[in-house]
Amino acid sequence: MSSGYLDGSGPLIAFAMVLAGSVGLPIPTLAGLILIGSMAQHGAGDAQRLGAIFGASLAGAALGDTILFGLGRWYGRRMLSLICRLSLSRDACVRQTSDFFSRRGPVLFLIARWVPGLSAVTAPFAGASGISPQRFLGFAVAGAALWIAAGLGLGAVFATQIVSLLQHAGRAGLELGGVIALLMLGYIAFAWTRRRLFARRLRMARIAPYELKALLQQTPPPLIVDERSALQRQADPFQIPGAIGAEHMQQHLTPLPLDTPVVIYCACPNEASAVLSAQQLRKSGYRDVRPLRGGLDGWRNAGLEVEQIWTTEASVAADASLRRVGTMTDPMSQRSGATV
């Protein structure tokens, strides 16, 4: 097994591999770059070959990011939900990405490729958030260049050892394609196991949209918490009537008894953010806390009304105060012209 496998096809293989990983396919791209870097370094024309592979890899990264950025710009939250649903990595969470972006801004795009699953959600999230394509691509390409250089560089540094391992694999009857297949299968198994373990953490009784609709007719109604980040609410400025943002949850819960009904929803297909928040409240002693099944999309899909998010802190505080004392017997009827 020699570097001859890369003759002429190395840049093409690198381009296809990085492109596939950039659009979210479960491929151990960094391991592949290390492998390709080691084989290129081991052959003749080291610098020229590595340069061509680096350029092809960067082109694949830029193309993949551009595709997902455009899909995020055109389809917004639906694209983000699809990625959350399909991703094998629990790290590809829109809420986590949104929170990090809120704190660090475009710096997120510099490091996204180092976190498994995160790079597949940053590009569509950037598109949905309204950031300019030039600004996004500038940071994303810079981050991809550092990541690709690190992968190829590691391969070049440890070329002798890696090629030696590949030669041993070849003598054992395992060709390069088999090594790549094993890497892919191992990565998929690892990511799938992590996802299953995370899914176990999400086991919790949910409340259905129509159950919550019925509770809203009671006096006082339950406290409804919108677990989405500020950027998610900005991209989709609608909420379940009477909901408060997660950042206001604690101040509204403090004066309430521990048996207060609390319903938490998010925008994740598996209600991940809502469940984790609900579990934390349960640990704090609140006994009647449930995530909403299907989140905000589940509420919409049930044909139930949403309201436009109030834009002032005073409005949010006044709304929460009215709800606590039970003066709003029908939260939906109190927002004339606000529901859609």
Mean pLDDT in residue range 235-252: 89
152 with 273, same domain: the answer is no
In a domain, 94, yes or no: yes
Task: Examine the domain organization and report whether 144 and 280 are in the same domain.
Answer: no
Cα dihedral 129/131/133/138 (nearest 10): -120
pLDDT for the residue numbered 14: 92
Q: Identify which of 40-44, 102-106, 196-200, 254-258 has the greatest average pLDDT.
A: 254-258
pLDDT tens sequence across 148-183: 999 999 988 888 888 787 777 666 656 666 666 777
For residue 221, CA distances in Å to 16, 263, 332 come to: 54, 10, 11
Share of the chain above pLDDT 90, in %: 29
Confidence of residue 59 (pLDDT cuts 50, 70, 90): very high
pLDDT band with cut points at 50, 70 and 90 for residue 36: confident
- Say what the pLDDT of residue 328 is: 33
Written in H, E and C, the secondary structure of 222-257 is: CEEEECCCHHHHHHCCEECCCCEEHHHHHHHHCCCC
Residue 340 domain flag: no
Could you tell me if 180 and 220 lie in one domain?
no
* 66 lies in some domain: yes
Q: Is residue 321 part of a domain?
A: yes
Domain boundary among 201, 229, 250: 201
User: Quick check: is 216 in a domain?
Assistant: yes
Q: 217 and 188 in one domain?
A: no
On whether both 27 and 159 belong to a single domain, the answer is yes
Count up the domains in the chain and report the number: 2
Domain limits for position 321: 209-334
Asked if the model's pLDDT at residue 100 lies above 90, the reply is: no
Do 9 and 66 share a domain, yes or no? Answer: yes
Is residue 293 included in any domain, yes or no?
yes
Given 171, 201, 231, the domain boundary residue is 201
Q: What is the CATH number of the domain that holds 225?
A: 3.40.250.10
Residues in the chain: 340
Rounded to the nearest 5 percent, the helix, strand and coil shares of the chain are 65, 5, 30
Q: What pLDDT, in 10s, does the model give residues 78-94? A: 776 676 666 555 544 56
Residues 54 and 97 in one domain: yes
Same domain, 150 and 249: no
pLDDT of residue 170: 66
When pLDDT is averaged across residues 7-19 and rounded to a whole number, the result is 85
Report the pLDDT value the prediction gives residue 172, as an integer from 0 to 100.
Answer: 60
> pLDDT digit string (tens) for 298-330?
999 999 999 998 643 434 433 443 343 333 333
Based on the domain organization, do 233 and 148 belong to the same domain?
no
Token representation of residue 92: 């590809």
Q: Are the CB atoms for 224 and 244 separated by under 8 Å? A: yes
172 and 225 both lie in a single domain: no
Burial letters for 189-200: b for 16+ Cβ neighbours within 10 Å, e otherwise?
eebeebbeebee
146 band by pLDDT with thresholds 50, 70 and 90: very high
Angle subtended by helix axes 159-171 and 133-157, to nearest 10 = 70
Pair (84, 61) in one structural domain: yes
Lay out the sheet containing 289-291: strands in order across.
244-245, 223-226, 262-265, 289-291
Q: pLDDT value at position 232?
A: 74
pLDDT on residue 338 = 36
Residue 80 resides in a domain: yes
307 - beta bridge partners? 239, 339
Provide the mean pLDDT of the chain: 78
Question: Quick one: which H or E segment has residue 265?
Answer: strand 262-265
Q: Is the pTM of this model over 0.85?
A: no
The verdict on residue 339 lying in a domain is no
Give the end of a domain, one of 173, 201, 229.
201
Amino acid 81 reads S
- 324 in the same domain as 180: no
